[in-house]
Structure 1
Amino acid sequence: MPPKRTQLKRDSIEQEGRVLLAIEALQKQEITSIREAARRFNIADRTLRRRLAGRPQRQNTRANSHKLTQNEEESLLQWILSMDRRGAAPRPGHVRDMANLLLAKRGESPIQTVGEKWVYNFINRQPELKTRFSRRYDYQRAKCEDLKVINQWFDCVQQTIIQYGILSEDIYNFDETGFAMGLTSTQKVVTRSEYYGRRSVLQPGNREWVTTIESINASGWVLPPCIIFKGKNLIQGWFDDLPGDWRFEVSQNGWTTDEIGLRWLQKHFIPVTTSRTLGTYRLLVLDGHGSHLTPQFDQVCAENSIIPICMPPHSSHLLQPLDIGCFAVLKRTYGQLVEDQMRARINHIDKFDFLAAYPNARVEAFKPQNIQNSFAAAGLAPYNPQQVLDKLNIQLETSTPPGSRPGSRSSQTSHFTPKTPQNFIQLQQQASSIKAFLKRRSKSPPSPTNQALNQLVKGCEIAMNSAIFLAHENGQLRAANEKQKQKRTRSNRRIPNEGGMTVQECQEAIQPPVEAVEPPRSPLTRPPTRPILPPPPVRRKLPKCSKCGQEGHRSDHCPQR
């Protein structure tokens, strides 16, 4: 702590001690005059009078710049603890959204919002909360950062671009990435401070693997994806509500194969990029996966003026644009969407759920600016190897984010008409009116009635805040229930698989055949109608005697009776 700040703290403590001694002397009637007590103990007369009136010390008083009231922050704290106990600790973004929701439900105009660092300051004020990372270590990444190897690769790229006259608009990068359908992304969550280490978060049970093949262009656009599911047949319901140029494949384990990679190149990449090629040749940057290094793959590339170039092993995190800027955002966004479904009590994610969430994740990941920045960070477009070489020996520095500007709450000057309060503002106005009315009637200082009224207002405010949280959660549950209803209506009809197909091809394949319309027959050639026979009569069964066992009579008319 700086010396100046330390001295100010000492002076404040010393002044507080003198104030307490002056109050004690007045209470014991050792000094009868407030002005005399202030003079003897060397304190301000106004300060002593305020403390005698019941005002607390400034250091112990809540700051005026807080957006949320004490009761609202307490309700938010209880919501965070409740979510954490249920295994769904919220992210800082969720806490900010709930704080903004409380502000929006107040009834103020204009609606206020909290700042960027509000959640950080709120957590620091609450000793029961702390942020933790829930990171999954389910991958292995080799770190091969050899300057010589990377320099040689960039020299090869430059020679290829110069030799074939490849434009930056004709540079592509493609790769596949895998998803475990039911895994959420690792992220920072708000949890109880008593926990040590990383906080575990509940995740859905499905671990089925799905692979997607993505390709991006250096000018900032993305090709339609190719989705590979585990299975033997294509399902008609997969193709519902998706663009017609999306492609689906199936494999035994949900991974890509040599055949799938070759079909993607012939039926997907080449038809889409041919019409958008500006030069003669296209440069295709790819990693050293086995499905990319087959003789058939190279032959098709040579026949269509495509120059494939492979990166050095274990260097895709430095040289591949998809790994640098797109796949991380894609998986993080998809994991957040899965987490939102988990909070809505959906504990099993299937293929239909994946297809409902994946398009939204692609929109967030494959933005034009993000794609261009990825190519620039990889040193490919524009060509700048130093962008990668500087990362090998770089020392990162984290800048301090700007502080949020405290907002001032506007005073409520409008005339208030007593009525049943519906939100926080009306509740405060009603309480102020009642307090003013009691003060005018009693003409006395605050009494236990005011204290009881404050407790009643606090209880009503907490109930209102809880109702806001419950209404928000119910809205999420209703939306999730509607998605489940729509998913159950989708078709599970199997489509014979002969090498994958696009959405448009599937729609053409499932169209019902056009039936031939027969000409109407003339009355002369009309076939005779069969006569309608009456139904056969119903024969009732004869009664049977329970004594002699013979049919035709009952026990009360039995001859043996």
Structure 2
Amino acid sequence: MADFYENEVFRMEEAVGYASTLKKPNLTQIAEEYAISYYTLYRRVRQKSTPRIQRKPQNKALNDVQEKALSFWIRSLDEAFIPPTPNIIEQWANLTLARSGTSDRTVGKNWVYRFIQRFPDVDFEMRRQKVIDSKRMSHEDVAILEHWYDLLDKILDGVPERLVYNFDETGFQLGQGQTQKVFTRHKTKIPRLAGEEHGERVTVAECIAADGWRMEPLVIFKGRHQMEAWYDTKLPEEWMTATTEKGYMVDELAVLWIKEFDRQTQHRVKQGEQRILLVDGCGSHLTFEFLNSAEKAGIKIFGFPPNKTNYIQPLDGKPFLAYKAYFRQQNNLISQWGGGLTANKNSFLEDLMGFRDKALTQRVCRNAFRERGIYPVNAKIVCQKLEDALPPIPDISIDLRDQKTPSPPLENILSSSLENTPSKTTEDVQKRRKKLAPLMELDSITPRQKRTLDQILTEMDFHVQAIQNASSTIAKIAQIQAPRAKKSTKRRLLNLKDDGILRVKDANRSIAERRAKEDEKEDRRVAKDFKKRFGFEPSRPSTDKSPIVSSTPILGDNGDIIAYQDSFSI
């Protein structure tokens, strides 16, 4: 289809050229001879219309070269793992218009989405970009994880799986359910499930071993006192409960828990063996009392790297995911069958006893260590996933074997500055195109040479646009990062009235006064040190310009100048 279209365009050009040589051309006969449309030939000859392919669309904000450069810039950002938002694309489109000398023009509010729909690469599409904690994101370094796994491999060398443990806490929101599918003939009138959006949270501390063993849980309620109603149900006698002000693990509870862990795991340790307990970086797990109690009991604490537990901690995998899934399903069942919500502490322990055995099975606990590469130690399981998520490094290769030396430019046509100076802005390209306009009108230039020259200028314009987009991107990144790269200070602003409102001029005055005092103090210190070493005070610049100052050099033992002695004369 493309070849036929190109041939038709060529025949049309030949027919128009032939018709222009005749005084009274017979357009019908010419159209039949060249197998082209009569109406198109009539418009080209009689009405002097230009081909549609050569017309510039009136409703296009950016020309073809500018859109090509913008597309190239979008691909470059995406390969650098910085995919642009529609708002950023709109800003760069307006910046492109401003660089072309049309700063008063801007793209429409829907231009970006129309541009995205006709984007040349079909692999590009709008996707939702999630927000992640900046500390967690900055620590997603494969090298750190590989180093941590190397240390873990040395620690677990020869240690049986029954001595490798993981301890962590998870929270449950009382009354929280989840969306579920039901089988019904009603399309709109589907009964809703009651739930608590802001129910009270309960913390459950769990500990599992690499062989599938699990320790009895510690349930932490928010409050100050233990209530009898919590124990109306017959619970396992070894379960533990506690209360804290906010319902979370605190330092004192962590110390009591490590002692309970020592008691419950004593029967699993043989003489001379050491238990390895993997914990996250929670503050209550790193206190002196907690670590000291573990050391006295012969328990080695090994921590996870910061902000990495979602990748490598066994309990953060399927154990806790299954834990919460069964908890929400239990709340759904209670709400669906009209039993009321579990949004109270009285029934939580009874419900926990029902779904804990389903979630923390021996197989789930054992597989949790294996899937996180903990036991047996295998760093590739986690590190390979992170490496696959990184953008690939492009291979750059240049083949110059078939390249030919370009022909020299035509003489007496272009100036030396035009020939040797590369274009740096869009205005430079436009000026170069105007200077080349006389060349395009010469009879000695063939149509092929004209098209080639036009293609060269078009490619030059594209590369200039691409370079300007890259420069603007670098400037934008620097502009965003500059305020955040400044060193902050914790100095207090002194000598200000505490009236609740701080004016900028007052803050600047206080800072200037503080800096002047510090400079004066530093000058006194330098002068004192100078006098101690050389026996006299250094000269200070005078505010009076009338005296004439002359300096005499002071030589040391080796003949070098060590200072100057100033003398004043009026």
TM-score normalized by structure 1?
0.42
Q: Which has the larger radius of gyration?
A: 2
TM-score normalized by structure 2?
0.42
